[in-house]
């Protein structure tokens, strides 16, 4: 009887070990699939990070693995940018991962804004540049937009800004700088180094997007600030 009991105990232990191994293997094959993790990331982005009407789609999943991460390419509003996901489908990273085995060169350049401001002057977190005249091009106030295709906040802001800009027609001059060093003197003057950066007539500026206020409120905020530099023109918009 004792021998039979020992055999059942051994068999039970072996069965338990086999079950655990199978569970781990199944977990790795399903949860650890880069494609599944990427699809989960897209679902999360669409559900939690984008406004209604804007959709992210998966373009590709890189074959090369960086530690427990895979690079994925996402498309939002016609713009593509890279992000990183953990292959277990748990974490999403919006920017490049740092290799902590490599030294990072220290940049001693001062990238801070050189503009003095009077603080926030309007809804939308816009600041007013102190003692600054409205800058123009062909007698039209210039609107500068600085962003990156790899920045989800820039991707969110760009179509909203463009829809407002189009309403002002030829009363303003629009400079859109995405992944470009054009107008770098303006960028370094008004930005802390972050994007998106929006400079309206060199008189008002903001580093960051208007996502916190939502799309409709952001459009309203943009119109108010642009009207300040156009002298409330056109009247159909700047009432």
pLDDT digits (tens, 9 = 90+) for 136-187: 999 999 999 999 988 889 999 999 999 999 999 999 999 999 998 899 999 9
Closest CA to 208 of 226, 223, 193: 193
Asked if pLDDT for residue 10 goes beyond 50, the answer is no
Per-residue pLDDT, 22: 34
Q: How far apart are CA 8 and CA 64, in angstroms?
A: 46
> Between β-strands 69-76 and 79-86, what pairing exists: parallel, antiparallel or unpaired?
antiparallel
Fold of 34-93: Nuclear Transport Factor 2; Chain: A, (3.10.450)
What is the rounded average pLDDT of the residues 111-116?
A: 60
Q: Give this prediction's pTM.
A: 0.56
Q: How many CB atoms lie within 10 A of CB 97?
A: 12
Stretch among 1-15, 60-74, 102-116, 183-197 having the lowest mean pLDDT: 1-15
CATH class (in words) of the domain with range 117-230: alpha beta
Written as six digits, the tokens of 77 are: 């509003």
Domain layout of the chain by residue ranges:
34-93, 117-230
Q: How many Cα atoms are found within 13 Å in the side-chain-facing hemisphere of 211?
A: 17
The residue ranking higher by pLDDT, 226 or 108, is 226
Q: What is the DSSP string of 176-238?
A: EEES--TTHHHHHHH-SS-SSEEEETTTEEEES-SGGG-HHHHHHHHHHHHHHHHTS-STTT-
CA distances from 238 to 120, 138, 141, 189, 217 (A): 20, 21, 15, 28, 15
pLDDT digits (tens, 9 = 90+) for 67-107: 778 888 887 766 676 788 887 878 887 655 555 565 544 44
Per-residue pLDDT, 232: 94
Question: What's the whole-number average pLDDT of the chain?
Answer: 78
pLDDT digits (tens, 9 = 90+) for 23-56: 333 344 444 588 888 888 888 877 876 666 667 8
């Amino acid at each position: 009887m004792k021998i039979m009991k020992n055999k059942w105990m051994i068999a039970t232990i072996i069965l338990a070990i086999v079950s655990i191994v199978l569970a781990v293997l199944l977990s790795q094959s399903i949860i650890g699939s880069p494609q599944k993790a990427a699809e989960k990331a897209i679902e999360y982005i669409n559900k939690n990070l984008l406004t209604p009407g804007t959709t992210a789609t998966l373009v590709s999943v890189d074959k090369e693995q960086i530690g427990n991460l895979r690079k994925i390419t996402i498309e939002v509003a016609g713009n593509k940018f890279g992000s990183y996901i953990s292959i277990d489908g748990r974490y999403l990273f919006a920017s490049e991962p740092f290799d902590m085995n490599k030294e990072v060169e220290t940049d001693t350049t001062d990238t801070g804004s050189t503009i003095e401001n009077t603080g926030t002057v309007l809804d939308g977190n816009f600041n007013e540049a102190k003692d600054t005249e409205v800058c123009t091009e062909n007698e039209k106030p210039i609107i500068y937009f600085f962003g990156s295709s790899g920045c989800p906040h820039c991707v969110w802001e760009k179509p909203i800004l463009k829809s407002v800009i189009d309403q002002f027609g030829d009363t303003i001059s629009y400079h859109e700088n995405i992944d470009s060093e054009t107008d770098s003197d303006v960028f370094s003057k008004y930005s802390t180094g972050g994007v998106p950066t929006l400079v309206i007539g060199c008189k008002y500026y903001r580093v960051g997007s208007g996502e916190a206020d939502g799309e409709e409120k952001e459009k309203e905020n943009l119109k108010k600030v642009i009207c300040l530099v156009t002298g409330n023109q056109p009247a159909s918009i700047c009432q």
